[in-house]
Amino acid sequence: MRTRKRTLAILLHLCSMFHASLAYCDVLPEYRLKAVFLYNFIVFTEWPDLSDTTINLCFDHNHPFGSGIDELNDRKVHQRSIRVLVKSKGEHLRDCQAIFISNTEIGRLSEILALLRDQSILTIADSKDSAEQGVMLNMQVENEKITFEANLIAVRQAGLILSSRLLRLATKVIQ
């Protein structure tokens, strides 16, 4: 029961951050809610020696968020701002601190993860079994609710730290 209350409190907090009416939070489109999760994944991640004033959140050009993802542009994360970047296939990814790997790119997942190996880049997806394949945070829809899994092996290899507050909400943690 405590877990449900805590999850509900966090969900309400997430919805309020996007200026959504709390009464309508449950009916927000899937990718609008996933954008809120992306924001919080960034908030609860620590990068080693991140001295830039921006955190680049990168997407491929076929991402499913539409123009709604632009709401994350200039959002504050501590003393930094998020900048949303759309990258074309093969474009340099090393200037990204977080990357969303969309379903259209999941066939190239092993190639993308190999390119990012040993880089301090948070990888996020929403495709079945992505966490088991090496994606750090993988969102899923279960019982009409967005949940996520965390792959701490991949997180540690990248030199990142995920907050225990975030990990408590994960449905599965790969260690």
pTM for this one?
0.83
- pLDDT the model gives residue 78: 87
pLDDT in the model for residue 68: 87
Q: Which of 165-173's residues contact partners 24+ apart within 8 Å by CB, and which partners?
A: 165/44, 166/40, 166/41, 166/44, 166/45, 168/6, 169/6, 169/7, 169/10, 171/140, 171/142, 171/147, 172/131, 173/149
- pLDDT for res 2: 56
**pLDDT for residue 4:** 46
Rg (CA), the chain: 15
User: What does the alpha-carbon distance between residue 155 and residue 131 come to, in Å, rounded to a whole number?
Assistant: 11
* pLDDT per residue as tens digits for the range 27-36: 468 999 999 9
In a domain, 17, yes or no: no
Burial 94-117 (b: 16+ CB within 10 A, else e): eebbbbbbbeebbeebeebbeebe
Give pLDDT, residue 129.
Answer: 94
Average per-residue pLDDT in the chain?
85
Reported as a single tens digit per residue, the pLDDT across 95-153 is: 899 999 999 899 999 999 999 988 999 999 999 999 999 999 999 999 989 999 999 99
Q: Residue 67: what pLDDT?
A: 87
For the domain that residue 34 is a member of, what is the CATH number?
Answer: 3.40.50.2300
In a domain, 77, yes or no: yes
Residue 150 lies in a domain: yes
Q: How many domains are contained in the chain?
A: 1
Q: Parallel, antiparallel, or unpaired for β 98-101 and 80-87?
A: unpaired
Distance of alpha carbon 11 from alpha carbon 62, whole angstroms:
27
**Does residue 12 sit within a domain?**
no
Residue with the bigger pLDDT between 12 and 130: it is 130
What is the per-residue pLDDT for 21? 35
pLDDT value for 173: 97
Residue 144 lies in a domain: yes
Identify whether 15 is part of a domain.
no
Domain assignment present for 2: no
Beta carbons of 121 and 108 less than 8 angstroms apart: no
Q: Please give the residue range of the domain that contains residue 120.
A: 27-174
